[in-house]
Amino acid sequence: MDEFELIRRYFARMPSAADVVVGIGDDGAVLRPDPGRDLVTVVDTLVERVHFAADIDAGDLGFRAVAVNLSDIAAMGARPRWMTLALTLREARSAWLERFAAGLEAAARPHDLLLVGGDTTQGELVVVSVQITGDVAQGTALTRSGAKPGDRIFVTGTLGDAAAGLELLSRGQRQVDLVHRFLRPSARVAYGQALVGTASAAIDISDGLYTDLDKLLSASGVGGEIDCDKLPVSAALQSRFDADACLEFALSGGDDYELCFTAGADAPPSAGDLAVTEIGICREKPGLDCRRGGKPYACVDRGYRHFG
Amino acid sequence: MDEFELIRRYFARMPSAADVVVGIGDDGAVLRPDPGRDLVTVVDTLVERVHFAADIDAGDLGFRAVAVNLSDIAAMGARPRWMTLALTLREARSAWLERFAAGLEAAARPHDLLLVGGDTTQGELVVVSVQITGDVAQGTALTRSGAKPGDRIFVTGTLGDAAAGLELLSRGQRQVDLVHRFLRPSARVAYGQALVGTASAAIDISDGLYTDLDKLLSASGVGGEIDCDKLPVSAALQSRFDADACLEFALSGGDDYELCFTAGADAPPSAGDLAVTEIGICREKPGLDCRRGGKPYACVDRGYRHFG
Please tell me the predicted confidence (pLDDT) of residue A231: 98
Instruction: Report yes or no: A288 and A219 within 8 Å, Cβ to Cβ.
Output: no
Q: pLDDT digits over A134-182, tens only?
A: 999 999 999 999 999 999 999 999 999 999 999 998 888 878 899 999 9
Confidence (pLDDT) at B306: 61
What is this structure's pTM?
0.91
Chain A, residues 4-33, CB within 8 A of chain B, namely 6-7, 9-11, 14-17, 19-20, 23-24, 28-29, 31, 33
Three-class HEC string of chain B: CCHHHHHHHHHCCCCCCCCEEECCCCCCEEEEEECCEEEEEEEEEEEECCCECCCCCHHHHHHHHHHHHHHHHHHCCCEEEEEEEEEEECCCCHHHHHHHHHHHHHHHHHHCCEEEEEEEEECCCCEEEEEEEEEEECCCCCCCCCCCCCCEEEEECCCCHHHHHHHHHHCCCCCHHHHHHHHCCCCCHHHHHHCCCCEEEEEECCCCHHHHHHHHHHHHCCEEEEEHHHCCCCHHHHHHCCHHHHHHHHHHCCCCCCEEEEECCCCCCCCCCCCEEEEEEEECCCEEEEEECCEEECCCCCCCCCCC
What pLDDT band is residue A17 in, cutting at 50, 70 and 90?
A: confident
CB–CB contacts below 8 A, A to B: 231
The whole-number average pLDDT for the span B137-151 is 96
pLDDT at residue B90, rounded to an integer = 93
**How, if at all, do strands A276-283 and A152-156 pair?**
antiparallel
Tell me: pLDDT of B305 over 70: no
Decide if pLDDT at A304 tops 70: no
- CA dist list (Å): A240 to A177, A199, A234, A236, A258: 11, 34, 10, 7, 21
Nearest to A112 by CA among A97, A87, A132: A132
- Chain A residue at shortest CA distance from B36: A34
pLDDT digits (tens, 9 = 90+) for B7-18: 778 887 776 777
Q: What percent of chain A has pLDDT over 90?
A: 76
A66, A79, A114, best to mutate vs chain B, most B CBs in 10 Å: A114
pLDDT tens, residue by residue, B32-87:
988 888 999 999 999 999 998 888 999 999 999 999 999 999 999 999 999 999 99
Instruction: Identify which of B6, B37, B44 has the shortest CB distance to residue A92.
Output: B6
What pLDDT does residue B24 have?
85
Check if B118 contacts A (Cβ < 8 Å).
yes
Name every chain A residue with its beta carbon within 8 A of the beta carbon of B16: 114
Nearest-CA distance B145 → chain A (Å): 16
Q: Which of residues 42 through 71 in chain B touch A, CB cutoff 8 A?
A: 42-45, 47-51
Task: Please give the Cα distance from A87 to A58 (Å, whole number).
Answer: 12
- Cross-chain Cβ contact B115/A17 below 8 Å: no
Q: Is the pLDDT of residue A206 over 80?
A: yes
ipTM, 2 dp: 0.88
Mean pLDDT value of segment B252-261: 95
The minimal CB distance from A14 to the residues B15, B34, B114 is found for B114
Task: Indicate whether A251 pLDDT > 80.
Answer: yes
- Chain B positions in Cβ-Cβ contact with residue A37 (cut-off 8 Å): 33-34
Q: How confident is the model at residue B260 (pLDDT cuts 50, 70, 90)?
A: very high
The pLDDT, as a whole number, for residue B170 is 86
pLDDT at A184: 94
CA proximity to A74, closest of A202, A218, A251: A202
Is the confidence at residue A307, as pLDDT, over 80?
A: no
